Amino acid sequence: MKLKFTKMHGAGNDFVVIDAINQRIDFSPEQWQRLADRRFGIGADQMLVVEKPQSAHVDFRYRIYNADGGEVEQCGNGARAFVKFVTDKGLTGKRAIKVETMSGVIEPTLEADGRITVDMGAPILEAARVPFDASGLQGKSEGGDTLWPLDINGATRWISAVSMGNPHAVQVVDDAAAAPVHIDGPVIERHPRFPKRVNAGFMQIVDRHQINLRVFERGAGETLACGTGACAAVVAGIRRGLLDSPVRVNTRGGELSIGWGGDGASVMMTGPAVVVFEGEIEI
Ligand SMILES: N[C@@H](CCC[C@H](N)C(=O)O)C(=O)O
């Protein structure tokens, strides 16, 4: 079949966005991998699928596939691309929409300056629900957070376990640019204490309102930005007493702004969404 798609990015985290309201989509993990392949396909960190909602009170259903072909619960940068896509394609006339994901409803809003703000919902901080297996581990308290020791390549790394619908392990590093993202990232991603694998964040505190962040993403490797990773890092930094809201998150692909009012509050993420090109591919 010939598949129509739009190539987009949010701060350099790139996506193939597919309208599955007007096209029939039923791909195997191998077909998703092929679309994501940067040599044999289009190339993307994630594929985003726009579907009709399954319940009455929302506007769309948003499905997310990592470059490795696995379907996942949430994608923050993708949520902004999703809004731009449904708006540009005339699939909605609303500026604020409700979108159902595998991990609940998120509420993105198109701002007057073209940026998009997404209410990402409240973070999940209970280890078992991240999910993170903390059994038998001795955590240490820092501010209002509990840090967990992980043995990574022979060193102990202290991480915060946070879910933004999808799982994140966030650690503080002195210098994000020099952090061993490609050496430790794959080991953290598949650490046995994270039964669903995990996205590994390396956060450098610049000041109380600014961080530099790199994320080795589950199922995609290091990306130029990770929206949920930015939310999880800011939540961890605020809980540890290192940051105050709002926080500017500098990623290798651009900048995001993250606001969080503390436990129980929604995380608000603002950033760009850009169309790169439109195309058609035989799949
Ligand atoms: N790039 C994303 C996150 C995509 C999913 C992630 N790799 C996972 O497996 O949970 C973002 O912007 O949040």
Report the alpha-carbon distance of residue 105 to residue 95 in Å, rounded. 16
Q: Which residue has the tokens 């994630």?
A: 46
Determine if residue 142 is labeled as part of a ligand binding site: no
Report the alpha-carbon distance of residue 19 to residue 3 in Å, rounded. 9
One-letter amino acid at 139 equals G
pLDDT in tens, 69-83: 999 999 999 999 999
pLDDT in tens, 177-218: 999 999 999 999 999 999 999 999 999 999 999 999 999 999
Determine if residue 46 is labeled as part of a ligand binding site: yes
- At 126 the pLDDT is 98
For residue 109, count other CB atoms closer than 10 A to its CB: 16
- At 89 the pLDDT is 97
For residue 186, the CA-to-ligand 1 centroid distance in Å is 15
Angle at 86 (CA atoms; ends 83, 89), nearest 5 degrees: 140
What value does the mean pLDDT take over residues 14-39?
A: 97
Q: Which of 45, 99, 197, 226 to mutate to test the pocket of ligand 1 (most atoms within 8 A of CB)?
A: 226
Map 253-266 to HEC letters: CEEEEEEECCCCCC
State which ligand 1 atom lies nearest to the alpha carbon of 215: 1
Residue 185 backbone dihedrals phi, psi, to 5 degrees: -50, -50
- At 70 the pLDDT is 98
Domain ranges of the chain: 2-121+272-282, 127-265
What value does the mean pLDDT take over residues 261-276?
A: 97
pTM above 0.95, yes or no: yes
Is 231 marked active-site? no
Determine if residue 153 is labeled as part of a ligand binding site: no
Let me know if domain 2-121+272-282 sits in CATH 3.40.50.1110. Answer: no
Contacts of residue 238, defined as CB under 8 A and 6 or more positions apart, other chains included, come to 244, 245, 247, 260, 262
- At 167 the pLDDT is 98
What value does the mean pLDDT take over residues 102-109?
A: 94
Report the alpha-carbon distance of residue 115 to residue 84 in Å, rounded. 9
Q: Which of 75, 106, 125, 172 is catalytic?
A: 75
For residue 138, the CA-to-ligand 1 centroid distance in Å is 29
Mean pLDDT over each residue of the chain, to the nearest integer: 97
For residue 167, the CA-to-ligand 1 centroid distance in Å is 9
Q: Which of 101, 216, 228 to mutate to test the pocket of ligand 1 (most atoms within 8 A of CB)?
A: 228
Q: Which of 79, 125, 162, 226 is catalytic?
A: 226
pLDDT band (50, 70, 90) for residue 64: very high
Let me know if domain 127-265 sits in CATH 3.50.50.100. Answer: no
Same-fold call for 2-121+272-282 versus 127-265: yes
Report the alpha-carbon distance of residue 233 to residue 204 in Å, rounded. 10
Q: Is the torsion defined by CA of 84, 102, 169, 129 positive or negative? A: positive
Q: Write the DSSP symbol of residue 33.
A: H
Report the alpha-carbon distance of residue 12 to residue 213 in Å, rounded. 13
For residue 74, the CA-to-ligand 1 centroid distance in Å is 6
What value does the mean pLDDT take over residues 215-222?
A: 98
For residue 57, the CA-to-ligand 1 centroid distance in Å is 25
State which ligand 1 atom lies nearest to the alpha carbon of 223: 1
One-letter amino acid at 232 equals A
Residue 217 backbone dihedrals phi, psi, to 5 degrees: -85, 140
Residue 207, CA distances (Å) to 90, 225, 243, 252 in order? 41, 20, 7, 18
Residues lining ligand 1, Cβ inside 6 A: 13, 45-46, 66, 72, 75-78, 166, 199, 217-220, 223, 226-228
One-letter amino acid at 186 equals P
Closest CA to 204 of 236, 161, 167: 236
- Residue with CA at minimum distance from ligand 1 atom 2: 75
Burial (CB < 10 A; 0-12, 13-18, 19+), residue 89, is middle
State which ligand 1 atom lies nearest to the alpha carbon of 217: 7
Q: Is the torsion defined by CA of 50, 103, 28, 168 positive or negative? A: positive
Listed in order, strand segments (DSSP E) in 111-220 are 116-119, 140-142, 145-152, 155-163, 167-172, 199-207, 210-217
pLDDT in tens, 226-257: 999 999 999 999 999 999 999 999 999 999 99
